[in-house]
Each structure stands twice: as C-alpha cells, then as structure tokens.
C-alpha cells in the first residue's frame, strides 16, 4: 500500500490501527529509557540508523519548516571535547544541590558520551524558511519545540530498534556550539548518546534511585482551568479511569 | 508479563521488539498529521483518553521532574475565548506575510477549536521540583522541552487510537494564560484540539498546498560538525542509505 496516494476508502481503512499496531507504539513509549551506563561498542548498521533518522524527520514542525539538522559524531576528538564540557558542568552542578543531595548526585551516572559508539546532536535552524513562519508569528519558541518533537521520534524509533539513547544536557551551551561550529542562528536542542545496550532498565534510573517518585497522573489532570477539579460525572469518571490505569503498562503487556 | 519486575533474562527478551512491534510505532510516526478541518463531534471515551494521557505522562523529563499538567477543556465559554484569541492573532499574522503569500495564508484552515469535542492544554510548571533540577542546571529550557516530549507522545498515542490532534500556536500567550488562570510559574506549551476525524490526510496540509516541500533528509545529516560532509565510506554509505529511504513509508507499509 502506498501511503502517499490520494484519499480513498481503501487508504482510510489502511489508516486504521489494529490492537497489534497500538501495542507496538505503546511498548516503545513505556519501555523508552534515558540510557547512561549500559552502552555496548557494537556498530550501528546504516539501515537501522537511517530508519531512526527518517522517523525523526517525520516529526511535526511549525509551518512545515523542518528546522532540524542531525550531526552524527564518531570523532574521538569531538567526543572528548564534549566530555570535558560535561565534566566541568557536572562539577559546577554538584555544588548547586543542597548538602544532603550532593553525595547522591555525585554517584549518579549521567552520560555515556565516550562509551556510546555514536553521539548525535539535533539542532534547530531558526532561519530555515525566512523570518515569518506560519504558527510562529505569536509563539516564537515553536521552531525549538518542533526540533524537540524530532528528538522524541528519534528516541522512540531507536528504542524499537533495540538502541539506547541518553540525552546529555549538563553541558555548556557555548562550548557545544563552538565544538560543533554551529552558526549563530542554529540552536543545539539535544546532545544524544546512542548505541546498543547490555540491558534496558525496568524503571527510570532517578525513580529507582529514589531521587523522585513517579507522580500520580490523576493529580496532573484538570478541567477548563488551572487546578479545577472534575465538576460532573464524565470528568469524575476520567479521573477514576486514570487512577485505575496507574498500572497500565503491566496490564497492557500481558 | 510485568514491565516493572526486576531485570532478568526473561524480561530482557520481553524488551525485544519484533518487526510487528516496530511496525506499530513507525505507522504512528509516519501517519500522524496536524488536523485542523476534519473533526467529528463524537465523544471520546474515557478509557481511550486515559491511555493517551498515560502515554504523555511517560515522556522523558529532565531530572524526572514530570513538569506537565493536562487541562482538559470542554467548556464552550473557554473554547470561545480561546477562539477569539486565535481570530485576532490570525488577522495580525496575515499582515506579516509578503503580499503574494497573504491570500494563500488566509485560505488555510489552521485550527479546529470549536468543532473538536475536546481541547487540551499541556503546560510546564517550572517550579515543580524546586530550583535545582538534575540536567537543568546549565540548560534552563530543558523542562519546557520535557513537556514538548509529552505533547509528542500524546500525539502519537492519539493517532494510534484513531484520534486527530491539531496544535494551535496562533494565540496570544497572555490571553491563554489568563483564560486558563495559569500561575506565573506555569508556561502553556501546547494548545491541542482533539477528536475523531472523517479522514486522515496522506500528506501534511502545508506540503499538499505547496506552501513548502518536504526537505530531502540526506541534506540534513552531517558528520562531526556543522555542514561537514561524509568523509569516509561508512558515512557516505549512510547518506546513500538515506537517499534510498526517501520512500521509506511506502516500502514499510507494503
């Protein structure tokens, strides 16, 4: 079937998702992890990498501007310079936490820049399609957000291909721009470590380390305005459904 | 199988994605559209909505801060006020385009605020877990980006559930904050129109309308620095693979 043919009954049926199709998406969403410590040195085949990049390229973008670029980094020299920027920023960061959290922070493994076979920087070119962009006229940050959507597509596709991804944000922005020779108009959105892994963790590492708990989702949903609770039966039923779904991944994966 | 049990050989095998699993994810990524004009009034069942919200809640977040809230909007009064903000901003936006593009812009349908049964605003609470957040010490925008990842998870899950989503960004930020009574520390990230649709378009509407073309992905991939071309056989092979994959969705969906 051709995704790009004209609308027709047949193609609309093809647009329907079976439970099996839904399962693949949800499996990727619920099993995606920020990977820092389990990278294997195995090469990533080009056909795998190309599929993931293609998924990222099909993210939504404001005014269809597709502001992203993908800089694939294998150079040991570049990786070392980025790692030095991390080491410095990591030391500075440690001092910002209250005394009781500093030790815990120091012992967290927060990046895999050197061990991962590939680093990828996803950027946003703010000048990509000229000054005036549909949908960016009133919210100037929309192009940055488009590139973030590309990051999330990349991450989910990588997970489905068995690759771990870690997003390193403890970096000096200026060092990152200089090391990758980014022009003024180009913002580095995400610096990602990518590679096959020995295993995927069952839970986010900061959750397992008791840094912070998973928030109950029913406390994050409101109606028609900030902190407005359910005010009718349908809204109350949604909140109850959310409470019942706290273990959605378990029941889904049975 | 229980996603949350301790690591074991069995659970790692369960972490493997079959081709069928991968298909579901890619199908959602390549068939997701920004929907503006095809909303049906049908109610969205609470179990469907709860699954999508749960998917959004499982986005990555910097320092596991989970900064998002989900404001579900059905109130005709609130929807009307948001629509008025859109109408004003849309008129202002039109005047920003060059004369030749103004007519085309005017004729684009860019929102479905009133027709869609539910609007949802996804926000970012910048104070959610205190001042110092792991991973936000040097890149202050990371919490905003986390909420954008939640938007993309929401969008993909909605697509897999047969729901259209449109992101409306032609809005006055201050009016949006005031209408939804958001506190100072809470940033509205995405205002989404959500509902079942008469059909999904084969291509993005701005592509079909010849506003902008899809960019060739091989021109967006570089190596070790900005605009640096492939410099060895492996890198060149990736570029060739990307060129060959221009029609990836077609071949994938056969």
**Domain ranges within chain A, ordered by starting residue:** 32-214, 215-254
Higher local confidence (pLDDT), B100 or B229? B229
Quote the pTM value: 0.95
CB A15 within 8 A of CB B31: yes
Q: Under an 8 A CB cutoff, do A24 and B29 touch? A: no
Is a pLDDT exceeding 70 seen at residue B2? no
Q: Find the length of chain A.
A: 254
pLDDT tens digit sequence for A48-82: 999 999 999 999 999 999 999 999 999 999 999 99
> Who among B17, B70, B171 is closest to A162 (CB)?
B17
For residues B132-151, give the mean pLDDT: 96
A25, A101, A157: which to substitute to probe chain B, counting the most B Cβ within 10 Å? Answer: A25
B29, B40, B141: which to substitute to probe chain A, counting the most A Cβ within 10 Å? Answer: B29
Give the minimum alpha-carbon distance from B69 to chain A in angstroms, rounded to a whole number: 5
Closest chain B residue to the Cα of A239, Cα to Cα = B50
Is a pLDDT exceeding 60 seen at residue B8? no
Within 8 A of A214 by CB-CB distance, chain B residues are: 66
pLDDT above 90 coverage of chain A, percent: 86
Amino acid B15: pLDDT: 84
Is a pLDDT exceeding 50 seen at residue A4? no
The number of C-beta contacts closer than 8 angstroms across A and B is 388
Burial of B210: CB neighbours in 10 Å, binned 0-12, 13-18, 19+: exposed
Amino acid B9: pLDDT: 58
Class for domain A32-214, per CATH? Answer: alpha beta
Rounded to an integer, what distance in angstroms lies between the CA atom of residue A94 and that of residue A104? 10
Closest chain A residue to the Cα of B21, Cα to Cα = A24
Closest chain A residue to the Cα of B68, Cα to Cα = A220
Rounded to an integer, what distance in angstroms lies between the CA atom of residue B46 and that of residue B157? 14
Q: What ipTM score was computed for the predicted complex, to two decimals?
A: 0.95
Structure tokens of B179?
A: 């209408």
Within 8 A of A59 by CB-CB distance, chain B residues are: 152
Rounded to an integer, what distance in angstroms lies between the CA atom of residue A38 and that of residue A203? 14
Is a pLDDT exceeding 50 seen at residue B5? no
Within 8 A of A186 by CB-CB distance, chain B residues are: 226
> Who among B34, B152, B199 is closest to A12 (CB)?
B199
Higher local confidence (pLDDT), A17 or A248? A17
Structure tokens of A253?
A: 């994966």
pLDDT category, A123, cuts 50, 70, 90? very high
Rounded to an integer, what distance in angstroms lies between the CA atom of residue A135 and that of residue A61? 10
CB A192 within 8 A of CB A169: no
Is a pLDDT exceeding 60 seen at residue A133? yes
pLDDT category, B145, cuts 50, 70, 90? very high
Residue A38 is classified by DSSP as -
Amino acid B112: pLDDT: 97
Give the minimum alpha-carbon distance from B200 to chain A in angstroms, rounded to a whole number: 7
For residues A179-199, give the mean pLDDT: 98
Within 8 A of A68 by CB-CB distance, chain B residues are: 220
CB atoms within 10 A of CB B198: 12
The closest of B59, B53, B36, B78 to B193, measured between CA atoms, is: B36
Q: Under an 8 A CB cutoff, do A31 and B200 touch? A: no
Is a pLDDT exceeding 70 seen at residue A32? yes
Within 8 A of A141 by CB-CB distance, chain B residues are: 144
Give the minimum alpha-carbon distance from B199 to chain A in angstroms, rounded to a whole number: 7
Is a pLDDT exceeding 80 seen at residue B246? no
For residues B4-32, give the mean pLDDT: 79
What φ, ψ does residue A142 adopt, rounded to 5°? -60, -30
pLDDT tens digit sequence for B52-89: 999 999 999 999 999 999 999 999 999 999 999 999 99
A71-85, A90-104, A109-123, A228-242: least confidently modelled range: A90-104
Amino acid B244: pLDDT: 86
Candidate CATH numbers 3.60.21.10, 3.50.50.60, 3.40.109.10, 3.30.2350.10; the one for domain B32-202? 3.40.109.10
Is a pLDDT exceeding 50 seen at residue A254? no
Is a pLDDT exceeding 90 seen at residue B142? yes
Is a pLDDT exceeding 90 seen at residue B3? no
Rounded to an integer, what distance in angstroms lies between the CA atom of residue A91 and that of residue B68? 28
Which range scores top for mean pLDDT: A13-17, B106-110, B166-170?
A: B166-170
The closest of B70, B13, B195, B54 to A235, measured between CA atoms, is: B70
CB atoms within 10 A of CB A58: 23
Q: Please, what is the average pLDDT of chain B?
A: 92
Closest chain B residue to the Cα of A180, Cα to Cα = B225
A144-148, A236-240, B9-13, B169-173: least confidently modelled range: B9-13
pLDDT above 70 coverage of chain B, percent: 91
A2, A13, A26, A198: which to substitute to probe chain B, counting the most B Cβ within 10 Å? Answer: A26
Q: Under an 8 A CB cutoff, do A152 and B157 touch? A: no
For residues B91-119, give the mean pLDDT: 93
Rounded to an integer, what distance in angstroms lies between the CA atom of residue B166 and that of residue B195? 9
Amino acid B10: pLDDT: 56
Give the minimum alpha-carbon distance from A209 to chain B in angstroms, rounded to a whole number: 11
């Amino acid at each position: 079937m051709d995704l790009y043919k004209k609308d027709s009954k047949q193609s609309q049926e093809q647009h329907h998702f079976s439970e099996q199709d839904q399962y693949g998406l949800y499996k990727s969403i619920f099993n995606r992890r920020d990977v820092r410590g389990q990278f294997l040195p195995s090469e990533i085949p080009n056909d795998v990498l190309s599929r993931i990049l293609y998924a990222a390229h099909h993210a939504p973008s404001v005014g269809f501007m597709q502001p992203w670029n993908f800089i694939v980094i294998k150079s040991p020299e570049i990786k070392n310079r980025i790692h030095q920027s991390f080491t410095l920023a990591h030391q500075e960061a440690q001092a910002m936490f209250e005394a009781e959290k500093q030790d815990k922070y120091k012992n967290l493994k927060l990046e895999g820049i050197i061990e991962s076979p590939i680093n990828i920087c996803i950027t946003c070119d703010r000048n990509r399609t000229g000054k005036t962009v549909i949908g960016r006229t009133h919210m100037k940050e929309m192009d940055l957000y488009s590139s973030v959507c590309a990051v999330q597509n990349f991450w989910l596709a990588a997970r489905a291909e068995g690759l771990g991804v870690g997003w390193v944000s403890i970096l000096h922005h200026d060092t990152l721009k200089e090391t990758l020779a980014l022009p003024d108009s180009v913002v580095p959105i995400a610096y990602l470590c990518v590679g096959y892994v020995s295993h995927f963790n069952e839970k986010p590492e900061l959750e397992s380390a008791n840094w912070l708990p998973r928030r109950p989702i029913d406390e994050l949903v409101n109606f028609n305005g900030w902190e407005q609770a359910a005010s009718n039966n349908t809204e109350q039923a949604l909140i109850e459904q959310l409470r019942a779904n706290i273990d959605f991944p378990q029941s889904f994966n049975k």
